[in-house]
Amino acid sequence: MKVNAVIIQREEANVSSLLFMNMKLEIPSHPYHERQAKVRAQLEERNLPLLLITNPRNIFYLTGFRGSAGIAGLGSSEAVLWVDPRYTLQAKGEARNADIVEERGSLIKAVGRWLGRKKFKRVGFEDAQISYNDYRALEKNSSGKVKFEPASEIVEGIRFVKDEGEIALIRAACQITVDAFAEVRPLVRPGARESDLAAEIEFRMRRKGAEGPAFDTIVASGPRSALPHARASNKILGKSELVIFDLGAILGGYAADMTRTLYLDSRPGRRIKSLYRAVLEAQQQAVESIREGVEGGEVDAAARESLSRRGLANFFTHSTGHGVGLDIHEKPRLGKKDKTRLKTGCVVTAEPGVYLEGLGGIRLEDTVLAGANGPEILTRSPMDDWTIS
């Protein structure tokens, strides 16, 4: 039996193998030891003996465990991963550089009791990822002897710059995204249904080896395209309508993000052509500004000033972009007044748009790598062929 699309991941020395569409992609194994060392260095700087990690993506980033339930503790001499019995075998197979502890009761209570026994006085925790109830359970079960200090920024700060293996996975996810859209594009015509096109995109991404969509695929046509985060609906595409497609595959845990806008008429009027050209120019300005040392706000300003020259800045209602990696939206944010400076190895989106009530919207988005020699577009899909006969 011929297998057209399958993902294979395994640890073999310093290389992981990933197969999609019968093409083998060799990527370096994730450097879990190095990532943990970076966390330990930051803990030492802050005089924190331990960091509790409850964000599943951060746990995966540091250990390789991809289960949906687990808590990790990382300190100068500790690397512990608590899981319930559903995930014990998975953790043993996936987790690297961590001791696996199976807990049949409440994980958060077990961790609290462990902290109490270890007699830690100060512990960092991911305050953006833990509920108030869980926080109280930690306090209570550690006998109130531990001071918990917010430290969500530690792992996210390290994830900010992607390593070689991460970039390889994002690049491959982007290629799947581009190829899936190219295959579905001939199906875009008046009479097609938004939800059918979204389902077709996601099906084709999976056939090409993706684990699934990185987010719910957006297909929004006509006046609905003026809704930046519209869900694909049962609306039928009509003649002379704008259609926004926002899609992205996820591969090996890493996401892609791309938006294209099509017009269902081979002869768009002057207004539609002017709007599309304005967004395209703004997107190009944003992409060109993505480089080492540039502040996120400067990228946003490049797009916003371009649209302003066309009198369209007031119709651009969101930030210009965001980081992409294990999360579809992560640091850095490319928004107004954002002071975060980009670094080589950052992966971000550039996605200006204009949205006019009653008419529709136009958004163009690429996933972009801030490289040593300037920006590299990872979602290379044509933008000039945007009308449908």
Q: Which residue among 159, 191, 217 closes a domain? A: 159
Q: What does the pLDDT read at residue 143?
A: 84
- Is residue 10 very low, low, confident or very high in pLDDT (cuts 50, 70, 90)? very low
Q: Considering the entire predicted model, what is its pTM?
A: 0.93
- Any idea what DSSP says for residue 222? G
Domain membership of residue 144 (yes or no) is yes
Best CA proximity match to 253, nearest among 50, 55, 1: 55
- List b or e across 98-127, with b for residues whose CB sees 16 or more CB atoms inside 10 angstroms: bebbbbeeebbbbbbbbbbeeebeebbbbe
Residues 283 and 182 in one domain: yes
3-class SS string, 322-347? EECCCCCCEEEEECCCCCCECCCCCE
- pLDDT tens for 258-272 read 999 999 999 999 999
Task: Mark whether 231 and 297 lie in a shared domain.
Answer: yes
Question: What's the CA gap between 69 and 314, in Å, rounded?
Answer: 43
Give the span between the Cα atoms of 321 and 334, in whole angstroms.
5
Which candidate, 203, 212, 225, 145, places its Cα nearest to that of 173?
212
- Work out the widest C-alpha separation in the chain, in whole angstroms: 73
Residues 137 and 229 in one domain: no
Share of the chain above pLDDT 70, in %: 93
pLDDT higher than threshold 70 for residue 273 = yes
pLDDT band at residue 361 using 50, 70 and 90 as cut-offs = very high
pLDDT tens-digit series, residues 84-97: 999 999 999 999 99
Give the pLDDT of residue 7: 33
Task: Return the CA Rg of the chain.
Answer: 23
Question: Are 237 and 152 found together in one domain?
Answer: no
Residue type for position 323:
G
Q: How many CA atoms lie within 13 A of 110 on its CB side?
A: 16
| CATH number of residue 74's parent domain | 3.40.350.10
Q: Are residues 219 and 354 in the same domain?
A: yes
Residues 6+ apart with CB under 8 A from 64: 30, 32, 94, 95, 96
- 90 and 190 housed in the same domain: no
The verdict on 40 and 178 lying in the same domain is no
Q: Are 148 and 137 in contact (CB under 8 A)?
A: no
Q: At 9, is the pLDDT very low, low, confident or very high (cuts 50, 70, 90)?
A: very low
- 128 in Cβ contact with 153 (< 8 Å): no
What range does the domain containing 224 cover? 164-377
Q: Mean pLDDT score of the chain, rounded to an integer?
A: 93
SS3 labels along 31-90: CHHHHHHHHHHHHHHCCCCEEEECCHHHHHHHHCCCCCCCEEEEECCCEEEEECHHHHHH
Domain final residue pick, 124, 159, 194: 159
Contact (CB, 8 A) for 221 and 191: no
- Has residue 2 been placed in a domain? no
**pLDDT in the model for residue 262:** 98
In this model, does residue 217 exceed pLDDT 60? yes
Same-domain pairing of 234 and 102: no
pLDDT in tens, 226-240: 999 999 999 999 999
Residue 1 lies in a domain: no
- Same domain for 140 and 192, yes or no, is no
Q: Is residue 76 within 8 Å of residue 37, measured between CB atoms?
A: no
Query: Which pLDDT belongs to residue 20?
Result: 62
Both tokens of residue 115? 């902290």
- Total of domains in the chain: 2
List all residues 6 or more positions away from 136 whose beta carbon is below 8 Å from its beta carbon.
none
Instruction: Judge if 154 and 169 occupy the same domain.
Output: no
- The CATH number covering residue 242 comes to 3.90.230.10
pLDDT > 90: percent of the chain: 88
Same domain membership, residue 308 and residue 171: yes
What pLDDT does residue 251 have? Answer: 97
The runs of H, that is alpha helices, within the chain are 32-45, 56-63, 88-94, 107-118, 132-141, 153-159, 164-184, 194-207, 270-288, 296-309
Q: What tokens were used for 361? A: 């919207």
| Domain boundary residue, one of 129, 159, 189 | 159
In this prediction, residue 19 carries a pLDDT of 62
Same structural domain for residues 70 and 105?
yes
What average pLDDT does range 166-195 have in this prediction?
97
Query: 148 lies in a domain?
Result: yes
Give the angle subtended at the CA of 148 by the CAs of 143 and 153, to the nearest 5°.
Answer: 155
Task: Compute the distance between CA of residue 196 and CA of residue 41 in angstroms, rounded to an integer.
Answer: 50
pLDDT, position 145: 82
Establish if 3 belongs to a structural domain: no
Sign of the Cα pseudo-torsion (289, 215, 251, 75, in order) = positive
Range of weakest confidence among 16-20, 172-176, 357-361: 16-20
Q: In this structure, is residue 43 part of a structural domain? A: yes
Is the residue at 344 inside a domain? yes
**For 36-77, how does the pLDDT look when each residue is reduced to its tens digit (9 = 90+)?**
999 999 999 999 999 999 999 999 999 999 998 999 999 988
Output the six-digit token pair for 217.
């695929």
Taking only the tens place, the pLDDT of each residue in 76-128 is 889 999 999 999 999 999 999 999 999 999 999 999 999 999 988 999 999 99
Q: With respect to residue 384, please indicate whether it lies within any of the assigned structural domains.
A: no
d(CA 342, CA 299): 10
Q: What does the pLDDT average to over 348-360?
A: 97
